[in-house]
Amino acid sequence: MRILVTGGAGFIGSHIVDLFIAAGHHVAVVDNLHTGKLSNLNPQAVFYQVDIRDPEALAEVFRREQPEIISHQAALADVRGSLQDPATYAQVNIVGSIHLLELARQHGVRKFIYASTGGAVYGEPEFLPVTEDHPINPLDPYGASKHAVEHYLFLYRHNYGLDYVSLRYPNVYGPRQDPMGEAGVVAIFTGRMLAGQPCTINGDGQQQRDFTYVADIARANLLAAERGSGIYNIGSGIGTDVNTIFALLKEAAGYTLPPVYGPPKLGEVRRTYLDATKAQRELGWQPEVPVAEGLRRTVEYFRSLS
Ligand code: NAD
């Protein structure tokens, strides 16, 4: 199949590109390299350095590539950055996605896979694990912008028959992770531990997140190209606290310093993890890499860079 991955030079997108290529598909990548890196890019992918806010440049990519599937990963993805510049987040994350949906409709794209976020659309959970029908109350412009696109996905399917899968990702970690991303704590701690520097835990470290290894996220995209329609939580259904992440990374990295406890981050959700039984039932997806193993692989990756 002919697949277009936006954000394919980024952390998650580059793993998706690798997996689609390994499965024998033709892959084109659109990325403006805002946080993405050419070094992440699979050499077998056709690369277009294009900003998704530029509809003419995107139209040219669609004319040349005629994609059957879009895996849309490109976004501004820093929660704190979104509080400082909400309008730019809306332009990239909402308007950029609308440009892609318009072109997908015009070119008869078969399916639109969208990277949504289970960490940021639900807000403070009313129950755990969070299911897809949990109330939507994003607490920052990033979450609001990511969720807004799900309305457009729904109406493009309703009005034009453009099928979609929206994957609400958990806290994704692994090789190529950027310390600024949603699960940045893993990349930050790993980098500091390998450099022998102290690590600061915000608050008491008992805040829980659904940490899921990036290869499992890429596999959800591969499955979504073939099956499913609508919105799916992706995650382990297990909350892992930051103290545990610190301890597991410490062991994997052979680090000896104790953690430094700092003030808690303002507005941070205390506990969240996602119920992915719908994805298991309809996509045949479940996570395969346990956190301890995923963190070991992540440490090995960052060690190999230094
Ligand atoms: P990332 O920053 O590594 O990837 C985003 C990519 O999009 C980068 O390569 C960047 O250069 C590109 N990009 C940004 N603005 C662009 C623009 N205007 N035009 C073209 N390309 C642009 O972040 P990631 O963690 O790999 O995130 C990938 C997707 O997954 C995002 O949509 C994000 O919202 C979503 N997500 C990530 C997590 C997580 O834990 N990392 C959790 C939930 C959802």
67-92: per-residue pLDDT in tens? 999 999 999 999 989 999 999 999 99
Q: What are 37's two structure tokens?
A: 């890196």
CA-to-CA distance for 50 and 59, rounded, in angstroms?
Answer: 11
Cβ atoms of 299 and 190 closer than 8 Å:
yes
- C-alpha 256 – ligand 1 centre gap (Å): 33
Would you say residue 24 has pLDDT above 70? yes
Question: So which residues are the catalytic ones?
Answer: 142
- C-alpha 77 – ligand 1 centre gap (Å): 6
Spatial CA neighbour of 222 closest among 171, 284, 172: 284
- C-alpha 258 – ligand 1 centre gap (Å): 32
Would you say residue 179 has pLDDT above 80? no
Summarize the confidence of residues 165-192 as an average pLDDT. 89
Q: CA 23, 28, 33, 36: dihedral to nearest 10 degrees? A: -10
Q: Which amino acid is at 126?
A: E
Q: CA 287, 289, 291, 294: dihedral to nearest 10 degrees? A: -130
Cβ atoms of 284 and 234 closer than 8 Å:
no
Cβ atoms of 243 and 201 closer than 8 Å:
yes
- For residue 272 and ligand 1, the question of a CB distance below 6 A is answered with no
CA-to-CA distance for 76 and 154, rounded, in angstroms?
Answer: 22
- For residue 182 and ligand 1, the question of a CB distance below 6 A is answered with yes
Would you say residue 120 has pLDDT above 60? yes
pLDDT band at residue 208 under the 50/70/90 scheme = very high
pLDDT band at residue 182 under the 50/70/90 scheme = low
- Residue located via tokens 């409709």: 105
Summarised one tens digit per residue, pLDDT across range 219-244 is 999 999 999 999 999 999 999 999 99
- For residue 57 and ligand 1, the question of a CB distance below 6 A is answered with no
pLDDT score recorded for residue 245: 98
What is the pTM (predicted TM-score) of this model?
0.98
Would you say residue 7 has pLDDT above 60? yes
Q: Is 147 exposed, middle or buried (0-12, 13-18, 19+ CB in 10 A)?
A: buried
CA-to-CA distance for 131 and 266, rounded, in angstroms?
Answer: 25
Lowest mean per-residue pLDDT among 54-58, 127-131, 186-190, 267-271: 267-271
Domains assigned to the chain? 2-172+212-236+274-288 (3.40.50.720), 185-208+239-272+292-305 (3.90.25.10)
Helix, strand or coil, per DSSP, at residue 71: strand
Work out the widest C-alpha separation in the chain, in whole angstroms. 58
In this structure, the residue with its CA closest to atom 28 of ligand 1 is 73
